Amino acid sequence: MTDGDTSHGLRDRIVKSRRRLLAGAGVALAGSVAGCLGGDGGSDGDGGSDGDGGLGGGGPSYDGWSMFGREPQNTRHAPDESAPADGVGERWTAPVDPEGDAVAASVKSSPVVVDGTVYVGSWNDTVSAFSAETGEREWSSSPDRLGTVSSSPAVTDGTVYVGGHGRFLYALNAGTGEEEWTFEVTSPIERVSPTVADGTVYVGCRRSVSGGDTVFAVDADTGDRRWGVDTGEDVYCTPTVADGTVYVGCNDETLYALDAETGDEVWTVDTGGEVDEAPAVVDGTVFVSDTHGNSYALNADTGEEEWTFEVGGSAGPAVGDGTVYVDGGDSLHAVEAATGEEEWTFPVEGGVVATPAVTGGTVVAGTDEAVLAVDVETGEERWTFSVEEPSPVAIAGGEVFLGDDAGVVYALEEVEAEDAEE
C-alpha cells in the first residue's frame, strides 16, 4: 500500500471538466424501440431440485439484492442481512436450461433477489426467474435481439432491466417476463450490468468500429434516451451511481465521473490499467480496482487520490462497515477504508474470480472451483462450497444465491458444520 504519490502518477492525471463528451440527447446513434417483440413470458413449470419450500409467512425475506452491486452505489454490502456462518448445503438447485446444452446456459454474473424471486441472465440468450423459496421456475424469456447475457439484470418497481450481446437493453415485466420496451445501443452490452437510480437506467457497451456512444442514460419507464457519452474505448464496467454522479471505467485506463442528469464530464482519472469492474462509492469515496492489480480510494467529488493499495488482482471491491475487500489475485485482502492499511490477508487457492459480497460478519467470494466464506474480523475461513467457476453471489434471506459455468442456479443455506458440503 502506498499513500500519496503512486508509481502511476495518478494524482497528476485527474482531468476536471464540465466538457460534454458527445452527450447530447439529440445524438441519434441509438434509440428506443417500442416493446413489440414479446418475451417468452409464461411459466414453464419445471422447477428446481431439493427445494424444501413451505416456509410460510414466518420464513426468510428474500429481497433487497436488486442489481449487480446490490444498490446503485455498488457496495455489494447487505448490512441488514446475515450470511451462513458455520457451513452451507444446497437448499435447492435449478438448471437454467434443463433440456439444452448446460455450458451454453452458463451464468457468469450475480443473480438478483427481489420480492421472493431470483433473476439470472445466461449465455443462452435468456433471462430466467425462479422462486427464491423453492427453486421453481416462474418464467424464462429469450427476446429475439437480446443475445448472450454475461451480466446481471437489475430489478426495480416491477421491471427487469437486462442487456445482452445483441446490442439491446430490454425492460421486462418482473412478474411475467413480457417485454415492456427495448433500447438499442451502438455495440454489444458485454459484462456490463444495468444500474438503476432515480428513474434512470445507466448502461455501457463496447465501442463500435464506426464510433458512437459507449455509456447511456435511459428513462426507466419509457426507454427513451436521456443522454449518451462516447468514452472512445470499450466499456465493460458496470456503472455506479451516487449523489448525482455516474462513475464508470473504460478500457482506455480511465475512470470517468459524469453528471447523472446531463452526462457532462465532472472529472476523469487515469488509473494506469483498464477499469473493467464496478467501482463502489461509500461516504464520499470511490473505491476502484484496475487490471494492473491496483486498488484506489478517490475523493468522489474531485477524483483526488486518498490512498492506493497494490495487490495484484482485478475483481471489483466490496465495502462494508469501514472495510474494503479486494482481490489480490491469489488472495483476498481486507483493507481499512479510511487509510488503506491492510487488516488481514486470506490466501485463495486458484485465485479470486468473482467479486466479493459482504454481510453479517462474513465476506463471500468465488474462486475457480469454490465459493468461500471468511470471517470479516479475523480473516479466518468459515466454510467452502465446491462449484466450478461460480458467479458472484447475492445474499438475501440469510442464504447465498449464485450460478455456475454449467448453467445451474444454487440457493445455499446454513447447516451444521458436520453436515456442510465442501
Domain-located, residue 147: yes
What's the alpha-carbon Rg for the chain, to the nearest Å?
20
Averaged pLDDT, 393-416: 96
CA torsion 121→122→124→130, rounded to 10°?
-60
What stretches of 124-188 adopt beta strand conformation (E)? Answer: 126-131, 137-141, 154-156, 159-163, 168-173, 179-184
Which residue has better confidence, 123 or 34? 123
How far apart CA 280 and CA 298 sit, in angstroms, is 10
**Does residue 341 belong to any structural domain of this protein?**
yes
State the pLDDT at residue 293: 85
Task: Please list the residues that pair with 224 across neighbouring strands.
Answer: none
Phi, then psi, of 56 in degrees rounded to 5: 70, -170
The residue with greater pLDDT, 305 or 330, is 305
Q: How is residue 201 written as a grid cell?
A: 437506467
| Rounded (5°) CA angle 29-31-37 | 135
pLDDT tens digits, one per residue of 301-319:
999 999 999 877 778 899 9
Q: Where in the sequence is the domain holding 291, given as residue range(s)?
A: 66-414
Domain CATH for 374: 2.130.10.10
In a domain? residue 251? yes
- Give how far Cα 285 sits from Cα of 68, 240, 245, 305, Å: 19, 12, 12, 9
Residue 216: inside a domain: yes
Helices (H) and strands (E) in the chain, counts: 0, 34
> Nearest to residue 278, comparing CAs of 339, 355, 392, 338?
355
Q: What is the DSSP letter of 264?
A: B
SS (H, E, C) 341-376: CEEEEEECCCCEEEEEEEECCEEEEEECCEEEEEEC
Of the candidates 32, 304, 49, the one whose C-alpha atom is nearest the C-alpha of residue 168 is 32
Confidence of residue 377 (pLDDT cuts 50, 70, 90): very high
Does residue 286 register a pLDDT over 50?
yes
Give all strands (DSSP E) within 290-361, no chain letters.
294-299, 305-310, 318-320, 323-327, 331-336, 342-347, 352-359
Phi, psi (5° rounding) for residue 11? -60, -30
- The arithmetic mean of pLDDT across residues 89-115, rounded, is 92
At 47 the pLDDT is: 44
Task: Please choose, from the candidates 162, 177, 160, 153, the residue with its C-alpha nearest in 3D space to the C-alpha of residue 44.
Answer: 177
With respect to residue 131, please indicate whether it lies within any of the assigned structural domains. Answer: yes
* CB 117 within 8 Å of CB 131: yes
Distance CA 392, CA 390 (A): 7
pLDDT over 50 (residue 142): yes
* Average pLDDT of the segment spanning 36-64: 49
Compute how many other C-beta atoms are within 10 angstroms of the C-beta atom of residue 204: 32
Nearest to 360 by CA among 83, 87, 88, 113: 83
Residues contacting 38, CB < 8 A, separation 6+ = 143, 178, 179
Catalogue the E-assigned strands of 237-289: 240-242, 245-250, 254-259, 265-270, 280-282, 285-289
Q: What is the mean pLDDT of the chain?
A: 87
pLDDT(104) > 50: yes
Instruction: Decide if 116 is inside a domain.
Output: yes
Sign of the C-alpha dihedral computed for residues 141, 144, 146 and 148 taken in this order:
positive
Q: How far apart are CA 74 and CA 180, in angstroms?
A: 26
4 within domain boundaries: no
Q: How many structural domains are present in the chain?
A: 1
Classify residue 22: in a domain, yes or no: no
What is the pLDDT, as a whole number, of residue 30?
39
DSSP per-residue string spanning 39-72 = ---S------BS-----GGGS-----B-STTSST
* pLDDT tens readout for residues 222-246: 999 999 999 999 999 999 999 999 9
